[in-house]
Amino acid sequence: MNIWQKLIIVAALATIIVVAGTIVYFNYVAKRRLIISTTSSLYDTKLLDALETDYEATHSVDIQIISAGTGIAIQHAENGDADLILVHAPAQEKTFLEEGWGENRKIIAYNFFTIVGPEADPAGIEGKTASDALKAIAAYGENLADQSGVTKIWASRGDNSGTHSKEQSLWKAAGYNYTEVSAEPWYGDVGQVMGATLTYADQKNAYTLSDIGTFLAYSKEGTISSVALLTEEKSLLNVYSVMAVKQTVAANQSYHEQINYADAMDFIKYLVSTETQQFITDYKKAEYGQSLFIGAVQPLKDDAPQPVVQWIKDFAFFNGSECPPQYRNGYPELYT
Amino acid sequence: MAVDIFASIIKAMELIISGDPELYGIVYRTLLFSGTAILLATLWGTPIALAISLKEFRGKNTIKAFFNSLIGIPTVVLGLLLFLAFSNGGPLGFLGLLYTGGGIIIGEAILVAPIIISIATTAIEAVDPDIMNLAKTLGASESQAVVAVLKEAVNGVLLSNLAAFNRAMAELGVALLVGGNIAGVGMRTDVLTTAISRYTQQGAFDLAIANGIILMLIVIAINMAVIVARKAKMLLVEVKPWVERIKR
Amino acid sequence: MTVVAELKNVTKTYGDNTVLDDVTLQVQEGEILALLGPNGSGKTTILKILAFIESPTSGEVKFLGEVVNFKKVEQARLRSTLVFQKTVLFGASVYNNIAYGLKVRKTPKNVIDAEVKNALRLVRLEGFEKRPARKLSGGEQQRVAIARALVLKTDLLLLDEPTANLDPKNAGILEEVIAEVNRKMKTTIVIATHNMFQAKALPQRIALMNEGKITEVGTSAEVFGKLSKNLARFAAVANTFVGTATATSEGTTMVDIGNGVKVEVTAQTQGEASIFVNPQDIILSKCAIESSARNVFTGRVTEITDLGSLVKLKVDVGKPFTVQITKRSFSEMGLNLNAEVCIAFKASSVQVF
């Protein structure tokens, strides 16, 4: 055997050892994995880290959280790379269920978006409704002396996330064509997660739509100086839900064996349990003086407080239910 | 923005000295993944470099130019390609490498292999072409002769490893997209660069900068160590015979 | 007489270039055989083939009685070794260079230590084990290369121009070593050289080569004894000239080598003759000294080569003569290119063939 053959064999062996080692390690040595793909606002507030630690203390499962945004989370699920997704874009979630990618949806928490901006509030949106605020901002933008695009008055996620979806629907509700308004010179398309977008808005003295959790985290640290300017209203409702990824993919009937369905369902049950729901509502409440996220399970059961619960139903229910029966699969206790 | 660079430096020191488990875990993973990646890339790259330099074939220059051009591939591009490949929806999904350290290792190995190939090829080509014949006429088999050539080029090959190390340590795209930057409890795939990315996202700028400082310190320390080691070795070779003489 | 190696009708071509043309040659056990010829005559190629690091394009090679299959040549290489013309050393210590071949042969360490020590003594480099090989002087490097080959105790030792780049002192040492090795260890040696003086002194047999062919083979006495055009047409060798000899009235012979240069020699001969003058026998002066030398010529310096402690000069007196002087003399005389000088040598120092 000449040296070339020897070298090729050594190289091939090394690769095989690394790959095989990884496969063996993950399938036989390491704990079972539960891969959760989530929206960045849940992750960046470290709520999920806290839940992970709590869950892993009593369950022999290794939770792996991939935080990248609603759009990507859905993509992961479609590829079979995630067992569970935690997102906050009801329209996209509906499509997700209808296309047969997921099942057993539960709404687990809610909070409100707000529009934040410079303390001086040049467009004068404080206290307005979301619609009026956006109109004021657009008007202010159009009247800016600098129309070159350097001066921005609005920062957008621009990344297909839940927050971005909400932003788009707000513009639409205010009577604007989103494609046109996003092409305006004063409209800043940041294309990044909430934290980065908030930083950008702060730097540019612009307004932006943010979930309350990320905003509080950033402003408490003193990282940004923007202030929240709007009060809670229906159009600013932000609803977080969880869905398990199906093992059988409807489209091509392929079986994603690696989907850890059992643990996913266990985790969903955990999320909707009374203790966890309380934990979520209490999370960092003392620190910020208000809840970052409010558990939604009990309110939905109690049908209170109003008008919030009605808003949730209007906004995030499909055909009158958080999970229409055809998208359920076992676990009847989840839907009593 | 309320970011105090000085406070970040203090924070970096604190983390290092206090033996902060989060930090040390991240550093351990960084070194483990990058280190193994270099080993793998060397095993792949050295035979290729030997083949390119020692054999005659048409299109040699084209192949060399090809590897040279791959040196600078944007890490995010490679990361994306690998992500698509390793995803369960992709062709290599069955390997189960997505979101694992193994995936990062293979990804970074692919990333730095062109560096090793390019530099090692240059080093081997710089070796006196007669060395091969010399080894043979002293009784070496073809394999042994190739080893002799490699020995002469070993300095260059080590240099290629250092360059590869620097690139692997500093890259973000592959580790982020293939590894998933998974933190928390249990098996983790976050490394220094991806951790910095996460801290930045979460607004914890002081942590981000602290980690950045630590990353730079590690890279600088290792580079300096290599330089010092080479100088020491050279001095040793020079000085030894004179020391022997003085002794006698 | 056993034949150690044999080339039968060997031809070697590189593309359109024929380097060896139907060469047949025998190497006898225990002899020193010289391949004598100008640069490019194919000497190195024969050595490479005998070392089994080149294969013939056609023809047969036999080694130790068996036909060599150049596709499976690794065993044969263990019994034949070549020392290159341009010294090639590994970037390691002298010890590791010399030990390389022994390590390949899996020799135990204590044996290697002893052999290396012995080899260094043989080439007069005792105590050099730990020195970095590439930092030695040219002469020392060449001796390390020879030591490296000697430790292997191969059946065949091949040397390509072993003293070409050495000053006479080192060259002398080397020639002594070669002779000693052949005498004591009965090693079969083949030397390629274009230095006729070396070829005359050292080997027992000589093969003359020109343009890829062997033109003549025989013992030293035979080859140099014959009035051989082959030998003389050896223009690459310094101070060899072909001319016409006529007797003089004083009992000496005058050889006219052309361009008005007439050399007086003591040897008795007539008609076509070849002469050789050792560069070391020529005295260089700034002109016209009165001396007993019968041969005095004026000319210009056309070439200067630095050999370390010696300087080699070419002086054109109508025909080019190579002269060797010490560095000291060279600087004291303040010579440079085109300087007008005189050369002088005794009639008795001219060798006639």
pLDDT of C124 reads 87
Asked whether residue C23 carries a pLDDT value surpassing 80, the answer given is yes
- Mark which of A236, A258, A284 sits at the end of a domain: A236
Based on the domain organization, do C80 and C162 belong to the same domain?
yes
Tell me which of C233 and B134 has the higher pLDDT: B134
Nearest chain B alpha carbon to C150: B138
A16 at B interface, C-beta within 8 A: no
Asked if residue A279 belongs to a domain, the reply is: no
A28-57 residues touching B, CB cutoff 8 A:
30-31, 33, 35, 40, 44, 46, 48-49, 52-53, 56
Could you tell me which chains touch chain A, where touching means 3 or more CB pairs under 8 A? B
Nearest by CB to A217, from B99, B186, B203: name it.
B203
Asked if residue C232 belongs to a domain, the reply is: no
Asked whether residue A94 carries a pLDDT value surpassing 60, the answer given is yes
pLDDT band at residue C288 using 50, 70 and 90 as cut-offs: low
Asked whether residue A314 carries a pLDDT value surpassing 80, the answer given is yes
- Cβ distance A331 to A104 under 8 Å? yes
A62 at B interface, C-beta within 8 A: yes
pLDDT band at residue A253 using 50, 70 and 90 as cut-offs: low
Average pLDDT, chain A: 87
Could you tell me which chains touch chain C, where touching means 3 or more CB pairs under 8 A? B
For residue B244, which residues of chain C lie inside 8 Å, CB to CB? 130
Asked if residue A321 belongs to a domain, the reply is: no
pLDDT of A244 reads 93
Nearest chain C alpha carbon to B235: C132
Asked if residue C221 belongs to a domain, the reply is: yes
pLDDT of C336 reads 85
Which range marks the domain in which residue B221 is found?
18-247
Based on the domain organization, do C129 and C244 belong to the same domain?
no
The three-state (H, E, C) secondary structure of chain C, written as one string: CCEEEEEEEEEEEECCEEEEEEEEEEEECCCEEEEECCCCCCHHHHHHHHCCCCCCCEEEEEECCEECCCCCCHHHHCCEEEECCCCCCCCCEHHHHHHHHHHHCCCCHHHHHHHHHHHHHHCCCCCCCCCEHHHCCHHHHHHHHHHHHHCCCCCEEEEECCCCCCCHHHHHHHHHHHHHHHHHHCCEEEEEECCHHHHHHCCCEEEEEECCEEEEEEEHHHHHHCCCHHHHCCCCCCCEEEEEEEECCCCCEEEECCCCCEEEECCCCCEEEEEEECHHHCEEECCCCCCCCCEEEEEEEEEEEECCCEEEEEEECCCEEEEEEEHHHHHHHCCCCCCEEEEEECHHHEEEC
Query: Is C101 in Cβ contact with B138 (below 8 Å)?
Result: yes
Q: What CATH number does residue C335 fall under?
A: 2.40.50.100
Tell me which of A251 and B26 has the higher pLDDT: B26
Asked whether residue A203 carries a pLDDT value surpassing 50, the answer given is yes
Asked whether residue A252 carries a pLDDT value surpassing 60, the answer given is no
Asked whether residue C197 carries a pLDDT value surpassing 80, the answer given is no
Asked if residue B8 belongs to a domain, the reply is: no
A254 at B interface, C-beta within 8 A: no
What's the gap in Å between the CA of C73 and the closest CA on chain B?
9
Asked if residue C231 belongs to a domain, the reply is: no
pLDDT of C218 reads 85
Which range marks the domain in which residue A14 is found?
1-30
Q: What's the number of domains chain A is made of?
A: 2
B205-244 residues touching A, CB cutoff 8 A:
205
| Mean pLDDT score, A186-193 | 87
Q: Lowest mean pLDDT: which of A190-199, C141-150, C200-209?
A: C200-209
Asked if residue B190 belongs to a domain, the reply is: yes
pLDDT in tens, C55-94: 999 999 999 989 999 888 989 999 999 999 889 999 999 9
C91-150 residues touching B, CB cutoff 8 A:
91, 100-101, 104-105, 130-132, 148-149
Tell me which of B51 and C224 has the higher pLDDT: B51
Average pLDDT, chain C: 85
Asked if residue B5 belongs to a domain, the reply is: no
Which range marks the domain in which residue C288 is found?
279-346
Question: CA B127, CA B156: separation in Å to the nearest integer?
Answer: 10
For residue B139, which residues of chain C lie inside 8 Å, CB to CB? 77-78, 81, 101, 104-105, 152
pLDDT of A317 reads 92
Candidates B36, B42, B202, B209: best to mutate against A (most CBs of A within 10 A) is: B202
Q: Lowest mean pLDDT: which of A2-6, A240-244, B62-66?
A: A2-6
Percentage of residues in chain A with pLDDT exceeding 90? Answer: 35
Asked if C touches B (at least 3 Cβ pairs < 8 angstroms), the answer reads: yes
| Mean pLDDT score, C36-65 | 90
pLDDT of B1 reads 44
Q: What CATH number does residue C20 fall under?
A: 3.40.50.300
What's the gap in Å between the CA of B69 and the closest CA on chain A?
23
Asked whether residue A306 carries a pLDDT value surpassing 90, the answer given is no
| Mean pLDDT score, C25-37 | 90
Asked if residue C351 belongs to a domain, the reply is: no
Based on the domain organization, do A20 and A119 belong to the same domain?
no
Asked whether residue C189 carries a pLDDT value surpassing 90, the answer given is yes
Could you tell me which chains touch chain B, where touching means 3 or more CB pairs under 8 A? A, C
B17 at C interface, C-beta within 8 A: no
For each of chain B's 248 residues, which pLDDT tens digit applies? 455 778 778 888 888 888 888 899 999 999 999 999 999 999 999 989 988 988 888 888 999 999 999 998 999 999 999 999 998 878 888 888 888 889 999 999 999 999 999 999 999 999 988 999 999 999 999 889 999 999 999 989 999 999 999 999 999 999 999 998 988 877 889 999 999 988 887 777 788 888 999 999 999 999 999 989 888 887 877 777 677 777 76
Q: What CATH number does residue B218 fall under?
A: 1.10.3720.10
Nearest by CB to A18, from B40, B47, B183: name it.
B40
Asked if residue A11 belongs to a domain, the reply is: yes
Asked if residue C144 belongs to a domain, the reply is: yes
Complex ipTM: 0.78
| Mean pLDDT score, C324-350 | 86
Q: What's the number of domains chain B is made of?
A: 1
pLDDT of C7 reads 92
Asked if residue B69 belongs to a domain, the reply is: yes
Q: What's the number of domains chain C is made of?
A: 3
Based on the domain organization, do C201 and C335 belong to the same domain?
no
Based on the domain organization, do A23 and A118 belong to the same domain?
no
- Mark which of C249, C276, C303 sits at the end of a domain: C276
B-C contacts (CB, under 8 Å): 50
Q: What is the pTM of this model?
A: 0.77
- Mark which of A236, A270, A301 sits at the end of a domain: A236
| Mean pLDDT score, A5-20 | 85
Query: Is B139 in Cβ contact with C152 (below 8 Å)?
Result: yes
Query: Is B136 in Cβ contact with C101 (below 8 Å)?
Result: no
Asked whether residue C251 carries a pLDDT value surpassing 50, the answer given is yes
Based on the domain organization, do A137 and A232 belong to the same domain?
yes
pLDDT of A281 reads 94
| Mean pLDDT score, C241-252 | 83
Based on the domain organization, do C162 and C79 belong to the same domain?
yes
Tell me which of B110 and C304 has the higher pLDDT: B110
Asked whether residue C287 carries a pLDDT value surpassing 50, the answer given is yes
